[in-house]
């Protein structure tokens, strides 16, 4: 008995040493030569299933699901860096296709579906998952379905139907075994749970978790989502909340110029191109001569309408700008909208910009005209500010030695010329008023 105990103690000690050495090797070598040692062990013990499982149990595995951006190059980048690689840092990646199925403990499964660009699985994926459900997924098992896009929300929002193969897989093959559908792509968090009823529940919970550090999508636009697969759902959680989402969306409109003031440069150039041919407006007496506010308002918008028709019928520069803006407005409407609606939205959008540009132009012309009539502008010429500067300079800084004249000679006239034209640049209202008065007096009317 003593001999046998000593022999078994030695065997046990050796076994512990081997296990400890193996564990240490796994932990150390996984950071140094992961592919080399794992491939060697798997090839060496290819006949021992338990050894392969033992090795893989000590390695962190990683599975990645492709998104819409990966399909822009036909999955070339995704296949090169995910499916054709074995390691990502210290994570082992056994995945060889853009879709996968994982069997978890306690009779749970994870199905990673690749919806590509058409928001549905192809026939090969459908065959793979349907056969897997038929052969290996038990009747009491639970399945989690992962997709990159939450088509249950987007289909409801855009009033369309996508993912017919996914729907058929869930309803007719998984039946009531899908406990959760999870997706990203939409940058917010929303969780819906089914409302208990007598109807079959094909999916118990719907989860959108797109909070990955990108820009934020609203949640309040999905507030009225209630049903899919014939099952009613209620919102359990949302981030941001519906109230916060509405407030942020309103702030995008009210605080647009404060947050994106650089757009004023682009918008100003576009508006100037639209109304370029209508400067100046010399006949504004019909607006200013009315005594009542309603009369002036009616005449003002009547003038805006006349200018609108003139711009489309007579002004080639403005008409070309309007056509270019209309094309851009139609192209930027989401492709999910029908062509008739896209055309209608584009026309309304551009018409609103044209009216806004005309109103701003006419208000500016009225302001300049009123200042001219009250002798506030166009009193001396283009260089009124420079003339005022010269008078103040001669009064407070006299030059008895003629130094300024010598500087003008030494700089070949650049010294006074630079100051003169810089001041003209700062005195834009005066330059506009003088130019407008000269054009109107000489009878040069705007015509393209």
Highest mean pLDDT among 61-70, 101-110, 204-213, 426-435: 101-110
Query: Mean pLDDT, the chain, as a whole number?
Result: 82
Show the domains of the chain with their CATH numbers.
14-57 (no CATH), 99-251 (3.30.750.180), 262-376 (no CATH), 380-448 (no CATH)
Confidence of residue 287 (pLDDT cuts 50, 70, 90): confident
**Residues 148 and 135 sit within 8 Å (Cβ to Cβ):** no
Q: How confident is the model at residue 18 (pLDDT cuts 50, 70, 90)?
A: very low
Residue 96, number of CB atoms within 10 A of its CB: 10
Element (H, E) at 239: strand 231-239
Q: Residues 130-169: pLDDT tens digits?
A: 999 999 999 999 999 999 999 999 999 988 899 999 999 9
Residue 240: asked if its preceding bond is cis (omega within 30°), the reply is yes
Which contiguous run of DSSP H or E holds residue 280?
none
**For the chain, percent of residues with pLDDT exceeding 70:** 84
Residue 210 — pLDDT band, cuts 50, 70, 90? confident
Q: Which pLDDT band holds residue 57 (cuts at 50, 70, 90)?
A: low
355/349 Cα distance (integer angstroms): 10
Structural contact between residues 162 and 148, judged by C-beta atoms closer than 8 angstroms: no
- The crossing angle, in degrees rounded to 10, of helices 2-32 and 34-44 is 140
First and final C-alpha spacing in the chain: 115
Identify which of 85-89, 213-217, 322-326 has the greatest average pLDDT. 322-326
pLDDT digits (tens, 9 = 90+) for 70-113: 666 667 777 887 787 888 777 888 888 888 999 999 999 999 99
Which of 106-120, 234-248, 287-301, 372-386 is predicted with the least confidence, judged by mean pLDDT? 372-386
Nearest to residue 177, comparing CAs of 207, 141, 229? Answer: 141
353 pLDDT tier (thresholds 50, 70, 90): very high
Q: How far apart are CA 115 and CA 163, in angstroms?
A: 8
In 3-state terms, what secondary structure has residue 38? helix
What token pair was written down for 429? 């209202």
């Amino acid at each position: 008995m003593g001999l046998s105990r000593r022999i078994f103690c030695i065997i046990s000690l050796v076994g512990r040493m081997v296990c400890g050495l193996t564990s240490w090797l796994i932990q150390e070598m996984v950071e140094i030569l992961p592919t080399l040692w794992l491939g060697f062990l798997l090839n060496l013990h290819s006949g021992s299933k338990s050894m392969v499982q033992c090795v893989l149990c000590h390695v962190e595995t990683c599975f990645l699901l492709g998104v819409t951006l990966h399909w822009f190059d036909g999955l070339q980048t995704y296949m090169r860096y995910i499916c054709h690689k074995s390691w990502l840092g210290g994570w082992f990646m056994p995945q060889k296709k853009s879709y996968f199925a994982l069997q978890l403990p306690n009779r749970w499964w994870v199905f990673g579906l690749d919806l590509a660009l058409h928001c549905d699985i192809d026939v090969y994926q459908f065959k793979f998952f349907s056969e897997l459900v038929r052969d290996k997924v038990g009747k009491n098992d639970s399945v989690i379905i992962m997709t990159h896009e939450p088509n249950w929300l987007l289909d409801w929002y855009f009033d369309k139907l996508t993912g017919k193969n996914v729907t058929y897989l869930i309803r007719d093959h998984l039946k009531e075994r899908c406990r959760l559908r999870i997706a990203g792509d939409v940058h917010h968090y929303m969780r819906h749970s089914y409302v208990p009823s007598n109807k079959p529940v094909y999916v118990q919970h719907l989860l959108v978790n797109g909070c990955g550090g990108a820009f934020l999508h609203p949640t309040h636009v999905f507030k009225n989502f209630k049903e899919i697969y014939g099952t009613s759902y209620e919102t359990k959680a949302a981030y941001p909340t519906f109230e916060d989402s509405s407030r942020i969306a309103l702030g995008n409109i009210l605080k647009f110029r404060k947050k994106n003031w650089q757009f004023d440069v682009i918008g100003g150039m576009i508006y100037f191109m639209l109304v370029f041919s209508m400067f100046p407006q010399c006949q504004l007496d019909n607006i200013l001569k009315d005594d009542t506010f309603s009369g002036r308002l009616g005449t003002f918008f009547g003038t805006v309408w006349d200018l609108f028709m003139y711009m489309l019928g007579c002004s080639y520069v403005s008409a070309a700008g309007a056509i270019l803006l209309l094309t851009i407005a139609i192209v930027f409407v989401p492709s999910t909208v029908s062509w008739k609606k896209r055309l209608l939205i584009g026309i309304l959008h551009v018409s609103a910009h044209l009216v806004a540009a005309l109103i701003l132009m006419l208000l500016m012309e009225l302001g300049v005209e009123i200042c001219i009539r009250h002798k506030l502008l166009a009193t001396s010429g283009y260089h009124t500010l420079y003339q005022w500067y010269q008078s103040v300079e001669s009064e407070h800084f006299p030059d008895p030695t003629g130094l300024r004249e010598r500087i003008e000679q030494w700089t070949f006239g650049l010294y006074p010329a630079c100051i003169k034209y810089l001041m003209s640049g700062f005195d834009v209202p005066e330059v506009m008023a003088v130019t407008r008065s000269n054009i109107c007096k000489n009878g040069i009317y705007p015509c393209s």
